[in-house]
Structure 1
């Protein structure tokens, strides 16, 4: 396992798309946090600087998803999946190694990107044009940033599982977009009580509940606690990995 993880780390850091995705996620986080923070400052008496950084995860998650997808599908596109599986013939070990490498990279990026976004939002909101002052509570900020890291790590591992099952970049990205945003929005738009309950437990809304984000598509706090949100997100991640492992074991490279 140690050798498999080392090999996956070399592959991940040597691909240019990895660094482009990480940089893109930070840029989206900063721009989104500044925009959402400015809008919130016009309506609220005070704004915790990490709140807009948390809310923008709705968009920044796609940088993490893209990184995780390309970590899998580029090997199928180039044919290098064959020597990978020759070197690591236990396929579950290869999938675990990819997940072990992707998760901490995205965790660190989620924490650091969120910190940079929160700091930028805090500095912008100090401008006299905004009536609401910026607040930066250290304990709340630390909890928010750690939560962001966990969310990005889990959504990335979920993307690894889906990509392993589908094997193509276009198909994996389309499926993940539908699961994380398209399907939840469609279910919310139906207006049905059952459809709404289902949508609120899909990965994106589960992540919002875990992060206690009130600036979400429902217009208010989600109707279940953060712990349940984390449980739903972890369950979807485990299901995606199980599906990826099942396909990986039954199909040729």
Structure 2
């Protein structure tokens, strides 16, 4: 175990996948031929200022390998957020990563999902508000779904609860994209409360949400809590997203 979160090992040990680095995006590739479904892995933001590139953390390299093990291409962009104003730039980079995947001949351009972690949950708003036809599912693991109270004002674009509420309104309602939400029983209060508010809106509008509960898990359980409960939850979230990507 490392001394810093970014040095801490992933709770699972999937077989390593071939990794291609394309500028600020890493692709983790499954074996075999043919076009594959794909997932953009959106690592947590903002990160500690002294943290190395998140693409090199054992946690996210583990997720890339775990997705590739199941036959999915995983794309992990390098994201830097030092201030809430940086969210616009980061959101554009996530969208650009999806475009990069769809243009890759190894990827089925009509079967993509996005998986958000921690503070990157704020980026869900765009995809809930106006989901493209190729977006088969969204996933969020211990996500922050509302800006923190002590932050300066954040662009309404990055308020996922409001985006979900607007998307589910009867007039001009958007297509509801299924979501896989992993929540932990020992999360930070501000994160847990935002997830509760989000789920209340999802229930009101009938938005399909698959909940993966980790009752004894803490924020970052997938690196910090090396238990069978953690391993089962991570696999369950991965498999639920695979099912969304491969269903007709």
Could you state the TM-score of these two structures normalised by the residue count of structure 1? 0.27
Which of structures 1 and 2 has the larger relative contact order (alpha carbons within 8 angstroms, sep 6+)? 1
Highest CA radius of gyration, 1 or 2? Answer: 1
Which has the larger helix fraction? 1
